[in-house]
Amino acid sequence: MNSFILLQVSENVVRKSAEMAVKDPHGAIITLVSVSVVFVALIVLYFAYSFIGKLSSGKISMKLPEKKKETVATGVPTGEEAAAIAMALDQEMNGEVYAAISMALHQYLNDTVHDNESYIITIKRKK
């Protein structure tokens, strides 16, 4: 049974190849089709990788729209949130941890976490 299928497949291939040789003796159609397929695949891959790169770098967000939050636009927690944080910290931690967390929050909210660097390196040569 397998030899019959193989024989039938090879006969179909030979017949189609002979038809194509008659229709396109120099292979221009096959060349154009194959080159077009490769270029279309490259263009699709370019857009796919560009989209994935933008998605992973955060330039495109796939988040669903959410309700407005009660927090102020500056990122300061509301009174209820601050009270809940204070109660949780009071039960779990000691004074040193309070100081470290409050200092980190102060620096984060006042944008003093990092220095502003010029990113310019100057090399002075000795004469």
Domain with 27 in it:
2-57
Q: Tell which residue, 11, 33, 36, has the closest CA to residue 24.
A: 33
Instruction: Judge whether 25 lies within some domain.
Output: yes
88-127 pLDDT, tens per residue?
777 776 677 777 777 877 777 776 656 666 667 777 777 6
Q: Give the relative orientation of helices 2-23 and 28-57 as an angle to the nearest 10 degrees.
A: 100
Q: Among residues of the chain, what percentage have pLDDT more than 90?
A: 16
User: What is the C-alpha separation between 51 and 42, in angstroms, rounded?
Assistant: 14
Number of structural domains the chain divides into: 2
83 and 47, same domain (yes or no): no
The SS3 call for residue 118 is: coil
19 and 53, same domain (yes or no): yes
Instruction: Judge whether 122 lies within some domain.
Output: no
Instruction: Judge whether 52 lies within some domain.
Output: yes
Instruction: Judge whether 32 lies within some domain.
Output: yes
